[in-house]
């Protein structure tokens, strides 16, 4: 299905049907993947200017929030800070839905971003650039990861990563790992598995 959906030949209103484990799925193309330009992946740490009930913070609390935002910015830009550092603060401090993924927001077309993030993301950025922006609703610390160009490039890359992971698993079975594991082989396999999980779900090492 994915190969058909992300084929460069797809056009709006193309229709196809695919057999699945539970029946059949009919797919209709609304917007071809390659037509979405500036598909950008970034990380975010969002500190809302409201409390858990949605009420605006007091001036004192806002001042504390600004200090916290700047402290996180410093921690994420100091020497030796990397995406793991950023992911840690996203997991522990961010109010955004992406927090559980280490703040990772994968391949969002620029025209689907908020105006403030779009202005930041489409400027001249390189991987690892970290900045703090302020909106009416929040302080947001952002880390630029990659501009894939159009969504098709991102989709093909993701599909390739999934195929590589599946091949590694198949190879491990073919090589009879179950009966020939020694400690070093197990540690190597576990390290590779953890790296794959970080790459696919947190974007670390991608």
Sequence ranges of the domains in the chain: 1-30, 39-147
pLDDT at residue 134 in the model: 97
How far is it, in rounded angstroms, from Cα 178 to Cα 206? 29
| pLDDT of 88 over the 70 cut | yes
- Categorise residue 48: left if φ over 0, alpha if ψ from -120 to 50, beta otherwise: beta
Tell me how far CA of residue 113 lies from CA of 49, 87, 93, 177, 185, in angstroms: 19, 20, 22, 46, 44
Residue 29 Cα to chain centre, angstroms: 24
DSSP letter at 135 equals -
Task: Find the helix or strand (DSSP H, E) in which 140 lies.
Answer: strand 138-147
CATH class held by domain 39-147 = alpha beta
CA–CA separation, 205 vs 149, rounded Å? 20
Q: Give the tens place of pLDDT for each residue, 17-54.
A: 999 888 999 999 887 766 666 789 999 999 999 999 99
pLDDT at 189: 62
**CA 35 from centre of chain:** 20
Q: Judging by beta carbons within 10 Å of its beta carbon (0-12, 13-18, 19+), is residue 170 exposed, middle or buried?
A: exposed
A 10 A CB-CB count for 43 gives 25
Q: Check residues 174 and 102 and name the one with the higher pLDDT.
A: 102
Most confident among 14-23, 131-140, 158-167 (mean pLDDT): 131-140
Distance CA 168, CA 157 (A): 17
Rounded CA gap, 51 and 44, in Å?
19
> At 186, is the pLDDT very low, low, confident or very high (cuts 50, 70, 90)?
low
CA dihedral 18, 3, 154, 192 (to 10 degrees): 90
Q: Specify the pLDDT at position 9.
A: 80
Tell me which residue has tokens 């409201």.
Answer: 50
How far apart are alpha carbons 140 and 128 in whole angstroms?
16
> What predicted TM-score, i.e. pTM, was given to this entire model?
0.62
Write out the H or E segment, with its range, that includes residue 164. helix 151-174
């Amino acid at each position: 299905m994915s190969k058909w959906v992300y084929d460069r030949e797809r056009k709006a209103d193309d229709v196809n049907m695919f057999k699945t484990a539970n029946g059949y799925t009919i797919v209709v193309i609304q917007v071809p993947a390659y037509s979405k330009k500036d598909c950008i992946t970034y990380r975010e740490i969002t500190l809302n200017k409201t409390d858990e009930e949605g009420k605006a913070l007091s001036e004192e609390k806002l001042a504390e929030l600004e200090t916290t935002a700047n402290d996180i910015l410093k921690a994420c830009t100091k020497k030796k800070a990397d995406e793991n550092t950023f992911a840690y603060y996203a997991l522990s401090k961010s109010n955004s839905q992406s927090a559980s993924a280490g703040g990772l927001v994968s391949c969002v077309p620029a025209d689907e971003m908020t105006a403030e993030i779009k202005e930041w993301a489409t400027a001249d950025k390189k991987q690892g650039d970290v900045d703090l922006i302020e909106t009416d609703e929040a302080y947001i610390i952002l880390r630029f990861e990659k501009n894939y160009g159009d969504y098709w490039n991102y989709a093909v890359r993701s599909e390739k990563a999934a195929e590589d992971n599946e091949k590694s698993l198949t190879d491990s079975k073919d090589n009879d790992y179950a009966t020939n594991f020694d400690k070093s082989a197990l540690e190597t396999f576990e390290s590779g598995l953890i790296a794959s999980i970080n790459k696919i779900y947190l974007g670390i090492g991608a």
